[in-house]
Homo-oligomer: A and B are copies of this chain.
């Protein structure tokens, strides 16, 4: 693994753990085992490197989600598989957490991959809801885009609850509550 690559993965880790404001070039360099010169040779600065790292994390997240969305079973089954997928809950969401970073949200270059990822997620789930409604699996009054937003929000908010109490079980509670509300094969 070359230096540029190590810088990106180290930045991914630090952004996940400490956010953008809490991550310094120095910390990135130390974790990557690279010097100042190396970092500023490969990237124009902290925002440039962060963008590369966020893009990488976004791609990883989509792949993990798609694995469940494309799995077997009914629309409900696939949504449930996504919501219940193995997560290191107390670490939070590698993409969603950056939403709380003022310097990320204020910078269109850095916010773009966040918006794209969460938008894709909503769209993917919305399609499954529509599919389930058409199949008579879900109540017909469900508005796919709204329900999808609610489900994505439950995941993001589940992390918040879990971290506030230092207890992953609260994430599970929120997800199970949402699945009961969704109520498949009524």
Q: List A residues at the B interface (Cβ < 8 Å).
A: 17-19, 21-22, 92, 96-97, 99-103, 105, 111, 114-115, 117-119, 122, 139, 141-143, 145-161, 163-166, 170, 173-178, 180-183
In the assembled complex, how far is the CB of residue A84 from the closest CB belonging to chain B, in whole angstroms? 13
- Which residues on the B side are within 8 Å of A181 (C-beta)? 142, 147, 150, 178, 181-182
Contact A160 B153 (CB under 8 A): yes
Contact B157 A100 (CB under 8 A): no
Contact B146 A156 (CB under 8 A): no
- Which residues on the B side are within 8 Å of A161 (C-beta)? 118, 122, 149, 152-153, 156
Partner of A156, one of B102, B143, B157: B157
Contact B114 A164 (CB under 8 A): yes
The residue in chain B whose Cβ has the minimal distance to the Cβ of A106 is B166
- Given the known inter-chain contacts A111-B164, A147-B177, A153-B157, please indicate yes or no for A18 contacting B17, CB distance below 8 A: no
Contact B19 A100 (CB under 8 A): yes
Partner of A177, one of B119, B139, B146: B146
The residue in chain B whose Cβ has the minimal distance to the Cβ of A20 is B22
Report the separation of the CA atoms of residues A27 and B55 in the bound assembly, to the nearest whole angstrom: 32
In the assembled complex, how far is the CB of residue A111 from the closest CB belonging to chain B, in whole angstroms? 7
- Which residues on the B side are within 8 Å of A177 (C-beta)? 143, 145-151
In the assembled complex, how far is the CB of residue A173 from the closest CB belonging to chain B, in whole angstroms? 4
Count chain B CB atoms within 10 A of each CB in A117, A141, A158 and give the residue with the most.
A158
Contact A176 B105 (CB under 8 A): no
In the assembled complex, how far is the CB of residue A18 from the closest CB belonging to chain B, in whole angstroms? 5
Contact B119 A165 (CB under 8 A): yes
